[in-house]
Amino acid sequence: MTVSSAPTAAPRGSALSMALRASVVLLFGLGFFALVAAVLLGCGGLAWAIVHSHHIPVKLLVVLVIVAGGLLWALIPRFERWVPPGPHLRREHEPRFFAWLDRLGELTGQKVPSEVYLLDDANAFVTARGGVFGIGSRRVMGVGLPFIQGMSQAELGAVIGHELGHFAGGDVLLGGLVYRLRRVILRVVAHMRESVLAVPFLAYAKAYLRASAGISRRQELAADRVSARVAGTDAACAALSGAAGTALMHHAYLETEVLPLARVGVGVPIASGWEIWARSDHASRLRLALEASASRHEAEPYDTHPPTPERIAALKARPEPGLLALGAAPASALFDDLEACARRVVAHVVPHALTPYRWEETGGAVVLPIYRSVAAMHAQAFAGLTLGDLGEQREALTARLEGTHDGADHVTRTIGATIAVALVDRLAWSLVNRPGDPVRARSASGSYEIDPLALAGELRAPDVSGWRERRRREGLADLAL
């Protein structure tokens, strides 16, 4: 690690910018409470006039009491219980990571958060817990496991530099005020939604959300500049574009491969599985889709973050060499046992004991029992059929299977599961479950693999006249189902 000894300065005009942003929030807050006060005074005055009149319209009086009482109830602050967003990372367990984090704090001139949590999603955040208006509060940071496993140290340094930049700009304190005021305004709007008085409150809420979103976008651009000063413009841009896409892919890997197994009590190697998943065709297609989606995104009035191309353009307009030079070393190298950290993340999401399996064991230990259950449930529909018969018997078989459940997808899954079980039980094939790939059946010799579900999907084609011949060439036409 190569660093410069000089800490980065706060962005020029940050104090003035902070004052202006705080003034905007304060003015909106005063305006909102003035509007509430006007409505309450109006309700009170009208109620007083009704009570002192000769004829008291009870229904109108009840409505006024409900409106005023609801407004007062909506203004009462709500206590929000802190729920840890992930496993708590501790200095004694990850000394290299925290030494690296301390250096980032020195470079930004900020005290490192006392609590750092590891997240299961592609995200990073800073906030403050406890205290009153920032006094006596504790700094908290969350860092996503997808960032750690999918980024270089320079790119992760840019991400954390960005988050520390929010402390440097006073964004955490201001953001707390913006958030609390937004909650109050939305509670009032929700209460007033059935009333004619909802119109001014809804208009005010829209104006506030637009203004606060604009403030948030400027805060993000200012934090981006801190990120570039620390890690360099190239690393900051990479963290916003390609590496961020990789992080989102890692989140997809957790959601589609790791967590479904964990929910049925199976624990698999997470770090090595990611390396396999990232090289799969599915990952390549997802990466292209993410890049296309990012290039199409345009700013919306209520977006709290500017579009990624706009942020990258702003960084490149003021290039920075960076005070921290880490190159392409993987961020995962900052952790002594990243696999243990990843298991803790999964345990936070799925809090029950897991039985450890290697990835290559999950086909037989996890997928096959599921396929067996499906095949046994519909065994009568396949009685007397061979794999080669399915082309001619497609319509009759589909009718029998759709009689138990609706949908072509159900039929395909059932046929695919039945084929897989027959290959395992009658030909001693095995099921192979690799991250990022569909479950495949592998021949006993290991020289040939097929995808049973894809094979079943061929039966949905308009013309299946060549089905038997194709199965004959594969030597599977006479496989009894």
- What pLDDT digit, counting tens, does each position of 384-421 carry? 999 999 999 999 998 888 765 556 788 999 999 999 99
- Reported as type and span, the H/E element at residue 87 is none
With a cut of 80, say whether residue 340 has pLDDT above it. Answer: yes
Residue 2 banded pLDDT, cuts 50, 70, 90: very low
- What pLDDT digit, counting tens, does each position of 196-238 carry? 677 787 888 888 788 777 778 888 888 899 899 989 999 999 8
3-class DSSP assignment, residue 461: coil
β-pairing verdict for 430-432 and 440-442? antiparallel
Segment 313-326 shows an average pLDDT of: 84
Mean pLDDT of the chain: 83
Q: What pLDDT sits at residue 107?
A: 86
The length of the chain, given as a count of residues: 481
With a cut of 90, say whether residue 335 has pLDDT above it. Answer: yes
CA 352 to chain centre: 22
- What pLDDT digit, counting tens, does each position of 179-196 carry? 677 777 777 777 777 676
Segment 447-455 shows an average pLDDT of: 93
User: Which among 85, 76, 96, 87 has a CA at the least distance from the CA of 126?
Assistant: 85
| Residue with the larger pLDDT of the pair 72 and 347 | 347
Backbone angles phi, psi at 170, to 5 degrees: 75, 15
Quick one: tokens of 247?
A: 């992080």
β-pairing verdict for 115-119 and 138-144? parallel
E strand map for 81-137? 88-89, 115-119, 124-129
What is the spatial order of strands in the sheet that 115-119 belongs to?
88-89, 115-119, 138-144, 124-129
Give the pTM.
0.75
Residue 129 banded pLDDT, cuts 50, 70, 90: confident
3-class DSSP assignment, residue 413: helix
Residue 135 banded pLDDT, cuts 50, 70, 90: low
How far is 282 from 270, CA to CA, in rounded Å? 17
* Residue spans per domain, the chain: 359-473
| Residue with the larger pLDDT of the pair 77 and 277 | 277
